[in-house]
Structure 1
């Protein structure tokens, strides 16, 4: 990882005694990160060790620079200039990172389905510009165990977070150093090292406390975002920096310090087993790896001339230090290598032998990266490249050639990604007027319509854009918004009104309902929010993983508006997949919401949720599966896996005369199977949303069932 050593530039303060035992700690940490990723599919706490060490080294170096600038004739400009350190950061971090990004881009086109190229390309940009953590957070990508469905760049969130920390700390702390330099001219007491350290400590402590409190607050609100959030993570390197400013001078026997180091190492090595880091970090439990790292740093800090404790000397051994020196390259390489291997073999887990081979190859590639990319760019490269006969021209050196090659390859990669982005953006989803004799869709199941041999529509690349009109109109409310945005569709001057209310699984029926409404003089008003069904649950879960209080707040406002405006009917979804095991069910929170509306005399039409594609290996992304060589059967779903034999909504409909249960499953599945393609139309646009093209092919069936319970919706029939 990108930990910073105490490598002050020439003219800075005298360097602190080099801590080779902390290089060994890096080696232990990267071994834990890689092994837990490859073999165990868990978070180890190793990243938290790296963050703490980064703060200790980087902030310590900045504080020594501030102290040194007061005690010498270093000018104000040199005191506050970030460029020397920033230049060194760029030389340390970018060459290896960009090499990996270039290779990942090439391997993506070879190994991964085209439907994923766009997302991975955007992650390449996000990683190159150090905002990958926020890109993942905003796209709701939980930090999950490795599988073939993961991004090969998911792990680079921590590199982005560290890069943001380095730049932010550099600018803020150098600005403070400059301010102290100016004050010292008038108030000499400010030039004292104790005063400078105290000022830095107060600022860093305040920021660390604020960050920790924020992380704790967000832990129970939006943990997937919290996990990636720089401000939530900031306290971890900051407490490492505080230890660099003030190291407790407690005289304890060497054997006790060794015992502390051994105990802390055991905690770091095992915490990945008894702490669910994805669910808990960077909240209070992150103090386990962070605090253990602080203890190891403290235990090895001894007076000049004194031997370090035995345990710390063992950490400074040849093998741990060797591994620690490769930690950055090994971190960059092991994850994409694992993901590409899993994807190439269409598996989700590596067995013991495969995992060992992946780790061995990662080590070999990391050694090559360090020797031929990292070392030459960090230190000029001559020492590691002496066997090569270079031209005598002083500007033609290995680092210079490597820089030119990396710049050209990076530019080419960026250009290729941009061209692909434009290509995908230019793919038009124009399936609104498909010939029903060529693309019968649901009619093939419901009416036995013949199906000619044609490629399905939409294409896998276009399917992701086959969205309801609410998406393009901006009235689908995002997860962090609590105020409803109302869209109006159908006949805007219609004599009857249907409210379409709920999450995206309600929203996806808009294309069929819009056609029905326009023919029957019905106005449709939409209240739709991402991942938020109509429910009274105070703590609803998004995909059973994340507390979602914004959904509860939004539901309260929607319910109040429905009871005030009193539409002629509310259409929503009535079921969701069972929380464990096969089948589906009606959550009690849904029932409570339905009852509120029907008690007010408002009819509720509950549409049974569609099957969520999947098999024994997990969810199926239909476009990805098809573009990766799958077919309608291999990318389909056994019906009994996704649905009960009878719609669970019927039982509630029998108790509430104003609730009507509709079930379109027979238009999506046969009696036993739910194919990925029906009547030459791709059924799903992702892992569980119908394409609007397929919804349109179901319009006649939607009207048939809807007209049976609300006759005014079928006065003018739609074509079959």
Structure 2
């Protein structure tokens, strides 16, 4: 993000480098790329990497000059290591505009966005205000992909959090080094020399930068969604900018060559968003393209006894510098404005005219933000409201009043979010014992049960928490786990055992299987792991396509345990949406598992996956769609777009007598449509998982089909 510290006030005038207006212009180009790529192209431009590199160049350069200057006799140890002056300037520079935007986002969230998303946006507001938004997003695996109405209006603030963490970390570490040099310099005078100090800084900064880059490259192929947001993986970008501030090569090169270098670097910065998939590749080796290009611009335009090269003078032009001055506010504003507009319009993308309008409004708001919020509270520039006659009190100023207002509104916003959190806790209704006459659920489709006119349960606000019991019980292994956490359900003392194994789409059925097991005296053992269906694929991936080696290890351990304990049958998924076309299919990796288990003499019950809700605009988050005013129809799915007319596992079942297929699609869909609400029960708790309440309404049909496949599971439940 474009927030970066200006030149320090601590160093004496001769040590402060000449002001680089061309780098302000580079900020302007970078923010233009970021905004345009977000609004129109749905790609990562590399502009954020430019900002990070510039921030490191200025900030570490500032700390270096402070350390060199602090070795003078006039500086005491406390003054040398005191972080407060710089930290105070950071707070003044970063927080006023950020908190103003956060307040605006919360207000617009209440006005524009469905209530189902309020809680998550509230949590992201706290994460952004406290500078850990990048790790909040990393933990929740939110890819930074093309903007759509489903994106968070605060998603872009990951880079602010990362940069804030860098500022604080660099401040603490490098000031500590300055203090050590100050103390050691009293005995070893040579340590106080500028060249030695530069060398110490260079070694420390380079070592951390190398470690960060190696970590980023390693994690690129392990967990890229997390890696993208991880400060540890991003640190090398500002640090290499800092290395250039520590040591700037001053080779005698002709101005025309330096100008050509700047032009080539600008071309790389402007185009890399097209030929590099930044979401998939940054902050790995390919991030060197925007980062290295930024270093070249800084180097080519360095102060010398000659005028700056022509290309750098172009960067220092008034329009570019003006845009660079707005870069911080524009970065903060453009993304939430885009997301709120897309949500209000109910569309996934902005067209050319809409995008131009969003950018124009963003520019106007950014100018207002800089003039009335940033500049007055930074102390940089005269406020346009300075002519107002304030009461004759030395502490009552525009900046003071604005600060009080921001703090008060932030506190009010925080209170509102906490109140909403408490309200959400009271919204959840116990749906475990709904009256089947009032809430027939799947029985409305399967048995033509009457459906009285009632609001659906769980409510759209509560259904997201309508989870299978295995999760709260601790029997759903997380992404990092490689050993199964085995749960026991049904009748714990039953002589027969049904093993439920796979990912979250197998887990969905535990509510019904638990009831069937209790009623018919068999045990249900669970082998469950997030995002890990049973597959023989040697290189499984997560839903977003990133490698998932932990899944492979977990499956091998589960299969070994199943073949050792030999349950009476294994219950797992048999189909999945087909990535190469409409409807569903049986992945080849599933067949490999079916062959292995049945080859060992263990029967397999394969249940057809549910239809994943979507329409021509993309996936549907059912609770959000309903909360926004949608209906069972408008939030539903055309059956043929999600399910083949015949269960794709039929042919395999015909070839393998130990494989038994179950298909409950008729309990989820009519002959041609899959509604979002059936029998007064909301079908889905998110984009593609069935709500636990709806699964319970399918218990009778699951019992019927299961008893037909495996007679020992008992008679059909009535």
- In structure 1, C-alpha distance between the alignment counterparts of 2:375 and 2:580, rounded to whole Å: 51
| Aligned residue in 1 for 2:559 | 559
SS at match of 1:476: coil
Deviation for aligned residue 1:380: 6.7
Does the aligned pair in 2 maintain the 1:636–1:673 contact within 8 Å?
Answer: yes
Does the aligned pair in 2 maintain the 1:429–1:463 contact within 8 Å?
Answer: no
List alignment gaps of at least 5 residues for structure 2. Answer: none
SS at match of 1:377: helix
- The yes-or-no answer on 1:164 pairing with 2:160 is no
SS at match of 2:90: helix
Give the alignment of 1:107-506 within 5 angstroms.
107-303=108-304, 305-379=305-379, 382-506=382-506
SS at match of 1:152: coil
SS at match of 1:547: coil
Does the aligned pair in 1 maintain the 2:428–2:458 contact within 8 Å?
Answer: no
Does the aligned pair in 1 maintain the 2:371–2:383 contact within 8 Å?
Answer: no
SS at match of 1:546: coil
Shift in alpha-carbon separation, 1:187–1:441, aligned structure 2, 3 A? same
Does the aligned pair in 2 maintain the 1:70–1:191 contact within 8 Å?
Answer: yes
- In structure 2, C-alpha distance between the alignment counterparts of 1:385 and 1:455, rounded to whole Å: 53
- In structure 2, C-alpha distance between the alignment counterparts of 1:544 and 1:272, rounded to whole Å: 20
Give the TM-score taking structure 2 as reference length.
0.99
| Aligned residue in 2 for 1:611 | 611
Shift in alpha-carbon separation, 1:412–1:686, aligned structure 2, 3 A? same
Does the aligned pair in 1 maintain the 2:11–2:69 contact within 8 Å?
Answer: no
Let me know the Cα RMSD of the aligned residues. 1.1
Does the aligned pair in 1 maintain the 2:18–2:303 contact within 8 Å?
Answer: no
Does the aligned pair in 2 maintain the 1:491–1:518 contact within 8 Å?
Answer: yes
When structure 1 is superposed on structure 2, of 110-119 and 10-19 the one drifting more is 10-19
- The yes-or-no answer on 1:549 pairing with 2:549 is yes
- In structure 1, C-alpha distance between the alignment counterparts of 2:437 and 2:631, rounded to whole Å: 22
- In structure 2, C-alpha distance between the alignment counterparts of 1:3 and 1:617, rounded to whole Å: 38
Does the aligned pair in 2 maintain the 1:676–1:682 contact within 8 Å?
Answer: yes
- In structure 2, C-alpha distance between the alignment counterparts of 1:13 and 1:699, rounded to whole Å: 80
Does the aligned pair in 2 maintain the 1:637–1:674 contact within 8 Å?
Answer: yes
Does the aligned pair in 1 maintain the 2:375–2:382 contact within 8 Å?
Answer: no
- In structure 1, C-alpha distance between the alignment counterparts of 2:664 and 2:420, rounded to whole Å: 37
- In structure 2, C-alpha distance between the alignment counterparts of 1:391 and 1:242, rounded to whole Å: 49
SS at match of 1:477: coil
Does the aligned pair in 2 maintain the 1:13–1:65 contact within 8 Å?
Answer: no
- In structure 1, C-alpha distance between the alignment counterparts of 2:508 and 2:41, rounded to whole Å: 38
Deviation for aligned residue 1:310: 0.9
Does the aligned pair in 1 maintain the 2:704–2:717 contact within 8 Å?
Answer: no
- The yes-or-no answer on 1:626 pairing with 2:626 is yes
| Aligned residue in 2 for 1:675 | 675
SS at match of 2:465: coil
- The yes-or-no answer on 1:105 pairing with 2:139 is no
Once the two structures are superposed, what CA deviation does each residue of 1:348-385 show, in whole Å capped at 9, x if it has no partner? 11111110010000000000000000000101764443
Does the aligned pair in 1 maintain the 2:456–2:682 contact within 8 Å?
Answer: yes
- In structure 2, C-alpha distance between the alignment counterparts of 1:12 and 1:262, rounded to whole Å: 31
Does the aligned pair in 2 maintain the 1:12–1:64 contact within 8 Å?
Answer: no
| Aligned residue in 2 for 1:583 | 583
| Aligned residue in 1 for 2:86 | 85
- In structure 2, C-alpha distance between the alignment counterparts of 1:568 and 1:320, rounded to whole Å: 72
Deviation for aligned residue 1:427: 2.5
List alignment gaps of at least 5 residues for structure 1. Answer: none
- The yes-or-no answer on 1:691 pairing with 2:696 is no
Deviation for aligned residue 1:294: 0.2
Deviation for aligned residue 1:422: 1.5
| Aligned residue in 2 for 1:70 | 71
Give the TM-score taking structure 1 as reference length.
0.98
Deviation for aligned residue 1:391: 2.1
SS at match of 1:214: helix
Does the aligned pair in 2 maintain the 1:12–1:68 contact within 8 Å?
Answer: no
| Aligned residue in 1 for 2:95 | 94
Q: For this pair of structures, how many residues does the alignment match?
A: 717
Deviation for aligned residue 1:484: 1.2
Deviation for aligned residue 1:12: 8.6
Deviation for aligned residue 1:714: 2.1
| Aligned residue in 1 for 2:507 | 507
- In structure 2, C-alpha distance between the alignment counterparts of 1:257 and 1:532, rounded to whole Å: 53
